[in-house]
């Protein structure tokens, strides 16, 4: 087991990639603070799975798009399970809209949920690790769209690109505290964020054309990389983005 004795906080761990990471972390020996915004049932399911693996889990409801909520989330997590060693900024959302139609409200929801949340939760986490005088790990779940354009999702790509430079900056600034900061950049993973895509065969077939490995990813494909980044195997890795996309990002061919 690679995460024995560690405690992780994973935002949005009631479903999708966050839930997959939470369960994999528990398999590797970690206790997990499970966070959700609305899907209480999903969070309960994650908790049960963790406890079946003989680990501790605590659920903390919080809307991480609200700065005060990020602070409370970490404090409540520590109260329940003790000091937190690993932070996974996973919670995210996207809204499909033509640029000319995007509302201010939708723009802010996407930016705040995906990027502002990671900024302030990481800040709170860094303060916590500094007080504890202990090292830490920050893992952001960004996207291939931290690099790749995604028309009709402009606020989304801005939030993920912002996460990329935030990660690189913090890798330097938090290094003296012994905190490493890395991104995992998933491609098309089957989760609730893109349910609409999976209900539309035409869209799905077109997407498959762009994926050299010819399959959609699973949350477990991402979770294995998260375990690696959280484990001592990655002690010397900071400031990196690891793409988990079946080759989608750099796929180009003329034949």
Q: What are the catalytic residues?
A: 156
Least distance in angstroms from the C-beta of 194 to ligand BGC: 4
* 187 binding ligand BGC? (CB under 6 A): yes
Beta bridge partners of 183: 140, 241
CA 104/CA 95 separation, integer angstroms: 12
Token pair 């409200």: residue? 105
Binds ligand BGC by CB under 6 A, chosen from 138, 170, 179, 188: 188
* 18 binding ligand BGC? (CB under 6 A): no
97 vs 193, which CB is nearer to ligand BGC? 193
76 vs 146, which CB is nearer to ligand BGC? 146
Task: Return the structure tokens found at 142.
Answer: 């960004």
Least distance in angstroms from the C-beta of 211 to ligand BGC: 9
60 vs 144, which CB is nearer to ligand BGC? 144
β-pair type (57-61, 86-89) = unpaired
On whether the CB atoms of residues 241 and 183 are closer than 8 A, the answer is: yes
53 vs 161, which CB is nearer to ligand BGC? 161
What stretches of 53-153 show up as alpha helix (H) in DSSP?
67-81, 104-111, 117-132
Task: Return the structure tokens found at 149.
Answer: 């354009």
Q: Is 86 helix (H, G, I), strand (E, B) or coil?
A: strand
Binds ligand BGC by CB under 6 A, chosen from 197, 237, 240, 249: 197
* Nearest residue to the partner ligand BGC, using Cβ: 143
CA 221/CA 214 separation, integer angstroms: 14
Beta bridge partners of 136: 179
For 236, counting Cβ atoms within 10 Å of its Cβ (0-12 exposed, 13-18 middle, 19+ buried), the class is: exposed
On whether the CB atoms of residues 134 and 81 are closer than 8 A, the answer is: no
Least distance in angstroms from the C-beta of 193 to ligand BGC: 5
Calculate ∠ Cα 237-75-134, nearest 5°: 35
Q: Which of residues 137-166 bind ligand BGC (CB under 6 A)?
A: 143-145
* 124 binding ligand BGC? (CB under 6 A): no
Candidates 11-19, 78-86, 186-194, 227-235 — which segment interacts with ligand BGC by CB under 6 A?
Answer: 186-194
141 phi/psi in degrees, rounded to 5? -90, 105
75 vs 195, which CB is nearer to ligand BGC? 195
Q: Which of residues 84-123 bind ligand BGC (CB under 6 A)?
A: 94
* 238 binding ligand BGC? (CB under 6 A): no
77 vs 162, which CB is nearer to ligand BGC? 162
* 15 binding ligand BGC? (CB under 6 A): no
What is the contact surface with ligand BGC in residues (CB under 6 A)? 94, 143-145, 187-188, 193-194, 197
């Amino acid at each position: 087991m690679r995460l024995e004795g560690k405690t992780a906080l994973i935002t949005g761990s009631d479903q999708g990639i966050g839930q997959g990471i939470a369960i994999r972390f528990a398999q590797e020996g970690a206790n997990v603070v499970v966070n959700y915004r609305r899907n209480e049932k999903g969070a309960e399911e994650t908790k049960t799975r963790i406890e079946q693996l003989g680990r501790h889990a605590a659920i903390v409801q919080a809307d991480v798009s609200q700065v005060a909520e990020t602070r409370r989330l970490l404090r409540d997590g520590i109260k329940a399970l003790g000091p937190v060693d690993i932070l996974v900024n996973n919670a995210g959302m996207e809204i499909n809209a033509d640029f000319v139609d995007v509302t201010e409200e939708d723009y802010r929801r996407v930016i705040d949920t995906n990027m502002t949340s990671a900024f302030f939760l990481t800040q709170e986490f860094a303060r916590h690790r500094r007080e504890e005088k202990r090292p830490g790990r920050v893992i952001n779940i960004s996207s291939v769209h931290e690099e790749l354009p995604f028309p009709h999702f402009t606020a989304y790509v801005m939030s993920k690109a912002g996460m990329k430079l935030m990660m690189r900056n913090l890798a330097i600034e938090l290094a003296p505290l012994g905190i490493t900061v890395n991104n995992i950049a998933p491609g098309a993973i089957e989760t609730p964020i893109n349910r609409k895509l999976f209900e539309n065969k035409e869209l799905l077939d077109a997407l498959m054309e762009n994926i050299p490995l010819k399959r959609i990813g699973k949350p477990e494909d991402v979770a294995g990389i998260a375990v690696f980044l959280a484990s001592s195997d990655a002690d010397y890795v900071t400031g990196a983005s690891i793409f988990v996309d079946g080759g989608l990002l750099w796929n180009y061919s003329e034949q």
